[in-house]
Amino acid sequence: MRIDINNVANAAIMNSERKHDIKSQLKLSPSQWSWAIACFFYPYAFLEPASTLLMKKTTPSFWLSRIMVTWGIIVACLGAVQNYSGLISVRVLLGAAEAGYYPCVIYYLAFWFRPDQMARRVAAFYSFGQVSGFVGGFLAFAISFADGRLAGWRWLFIIEGIPAVLMGIATLWVLPDYPQTARFLDDEEKSATLGLLSEHAPSKEAKTWDWHQVVALFKDPTFWTWTLVWFFHAVGGFGLSYVLPTVIFQLGFTTSALSNVLSMPPSLCTFIVLNTLGWLVQSKNFNPFRVAIILETINIICCVLLLTVKVPVVKYLALCVATSTAGSVYPILWPSRVKASRGTTAAGVAIGLTNATAQFAGILGPTVFSTIYGPTYRVSFIVCSALLAGAILSIAATGLLMGELFDTKTRGTKEPEREHQIDEKDL
């Protein structure tokens, strides 16, 4: 469903040899292209906290459906833009329409599962977001051959807007809202499901806005360390993903069409790594803070390799590893982030604001990896290395504040639960 995030990167090089790519046809300079990517993330980040709470104010099925249908329609409209101003306008509307999708899904899961039960679920959710990069790369490659009277990049946006609309309509009718209203659960099962949740978990019965919870959230030092984690990793780790096909193309050993194909293996690697780590964290009690620190360290090593190695194939392999490690950090840490927030309002605000911070990946990432730094991107990878070092320090500080950095206990026994129990194997 996140194909629309990646397709703008694919469109950047589609049929560039024939000057039929989006940048050539709309006569965009490198700085204009960076703004075209980044402008999406300003309304997206600004509206995320409100959108997250609106899911609770309305219903999850309605709000997630609304997000998907509107973003699908607007994505298709990108195929009709004729100039830079039109591209900026539609991208801003797309950011506003899609705001809240990721945090709403995390918030939704918190109504159903304890944090220690979320690792595999969040990993699966994020990993299919990575599959969108795989699918998007393949579609961009295939659609590039449809380039003709209507440019291939226009077909790409039109075709990729359709699935979001269809899935949005289906979500309205299929997605269960809360355990209390789920039709597939009887009364005993509903009580047992709710009984597994911690006393601080979000609840359907709680009011959407509680000032006391918001004040307590901002007084919590972990709120600020979590924000630093998300910021440092957003730019240092995730920023590359929004320009990956261009970076691969500028390695100089492939065509624009094959560069989109070569953007697929990094997404597949992330899918495998992420689901494996989600399973290890939830089922084998791997410490998420230590896992995240290891991932960031590997990412820094990849940056060093990309700075020093001259062989294009080795650079490409380093990009694959860097993409897979960077794409795994947030999902591994999300359950702990949810655990640090207490109450329905606090969880919604914390999840919304935390994910809003992640949008600096799209705001600053294209600037850090601007084509003016290519083809070596030396400045870009030096900046990323420094930011990733900041992420490691922030992760360690957060783990210490939560008392879990050196924790070796089973994470499922930490929080007091409500009454009623069922076998967790059923979950």
| CA angle (300 as vertex; 295, 303 as ends), nearest 5 | 130
Q: Which percentage of the chain shows pLDDT scores above 90? A: 55
Segment 75-133, tens digit of pLDDT:
999 999 999 999 999 999 999 999 999 999 999 999 999 999 999 999 999 888 777 76
Segment 186-207, tens digit of pLDDT:
999 999 999 999 888 999 999 9
Taken in order 73, 75, 80, 83, the sign of the CA dihedral is positive
What CA–CA distance (Å, rounded) separates 213 from 231?
23
What CA–CA distance (Å, rounded) separates 5 from 102?
12
DSSP-assigned letter for residue 309: -
What CA–CA distance (Å, rounded) separates 422 from 196?
8
Q: Is 60 exceeded by the pLDDT of residue 421? A: no
Report the pLDDT value the prediction gives residue 6, as an integer from 0 to 100.
62
Which among 129, 391, 394 has a CA at the least distance from the CA of 235? Answer: 391
Segment 268-325, tens digit of pLDDT:
888 999 999 999 999 998 999 999 999 999 999 999 998 888 888 888 888 889 889 9
Residues 64-75: what's their mean pLDDT?
94
Full-model pTM: 0.87
Of 81-85, 230-234, 248-252, the poorest mean pLDDT is in 248-252
Name the band, by pLDDT with cuts 50, 70 and 90, for residue 5.
low
What CA–CA distance (Å, rounded) separates 213 from 344?
8
Of 2-11, 57-66, 372-381, the poorest mean pLDDT is in 2-11
